[in-house]
Structures are given as structure tokens and as C-alpha cells.
Amino acid sequence: MLAPAGCIPPIPEGFDSPDPAMRLQAIAEAGRHRDLSAVPDLIEQLESTDPGARLMAIRALERITGETLGYDYAAPLWERGNAVVRWRRWYRQHAATDGTPIPPSNR
């Protein structure tokens, strides 16, 4: 049985979407626009089970911050985990007290 039109909740967009294509689009947009507010979401995407999402997330982070912190999207899980810890530490050190990231230096 089909639900009446307008009764199906929309699929959330962005990083929290269950649709992988929507998540990849959010990652790409964040990198393209150098969206500093997306840095925490991009760091979270480094732990994705999708290697494509991990690759796009690290490229977006590199574009935004100028850093990779040694993260390799294809590395073993333990190695990626260590790099994610470095990213979280980096973010804590570079975020303002209100949670807004400090713009990276121009390289």
C-alpha cells in the first residue's frame, strides 16, 4: 500500500543523511566552499565504512585547513583511528571558545 502524497518524510540531506549520495554531496560542497563550520562533520566522515567518503572527507579537510595530519583513507582501521585522534586534537586546539573554527593560515 502506498502512502498518500506528502505523507512520506523527506530524506535528510547532508552529513546525517542515510543516503550515501547525499553524504558525498555534503562532503564535496564543504570542500568546494571551504566551509569551516563543516570541519567536525568531515572529521566524523573520516571514520566512515565507505572508502570513497573517507577519501573525499580528507581531501575536503585538506582544502579547508591545508592539513592531512597523516590520514590515509585506505590505511588499516587502527592507523586511521590514530589519525582521527590527531584530527580531533587539532580541532580542539584550533577552535574558538564558541566552537567556531579559527580560519587556517594561508598557505
DSSP characters over the chain: -PPPTT-SPPPPPSTT-SSHHHHHHHHHHHHHTT-GGGHHHHHHHTT-S-HHHHHHHHHHHHHHHS--TT--TTS-HHHHHHHHHHHHHHHHHHB-TTSPBPPPPP-
Q: Kindly state whether residue 11 falls inside one of the protein's structural domains.
A: no
Supply the pTM of this predicted model: 0.81
Q: Kindly state whether residue 102 falls inside one of the protein's structural domains.
A: no
Domains in the chain: how many in total? 1
Q: Kindly state whether residue 34 falls inside one of the protein's structural domains.
A: yes
Q: Kindly state whether residue 61 falls inside one of the protein's structural domains.
A: yes
pLDDT band at 7 (very low <50, low <70, confident <90, very high): low
Average pLDDT over residues 33-41: 94
- pLDDT for 107: 44
Average pLDDT, the chain: 86
- What type of residue sits at position 11? I
Q: Domain range spanning residue 34?
A: 20-94
Q: Kindly state whether residue 106 falls inside one of the protein's structural domains.
A: no
Residues 6 or more apart in contact with residue 98 via CB below 8 angstroms: none
Q: Kindly state whether residue 100 falls inside one of the protein's structural domains.
A: no
Q: Kindly state whether residue 1 falls inside one of the protein's structural domains.
A: no
Cα–Cα distance list, 20 to 9, 15, 30, 54 (Å): 18, 9, 15, 12
Cα 94 to its chain centre, rounded Å, is: 16
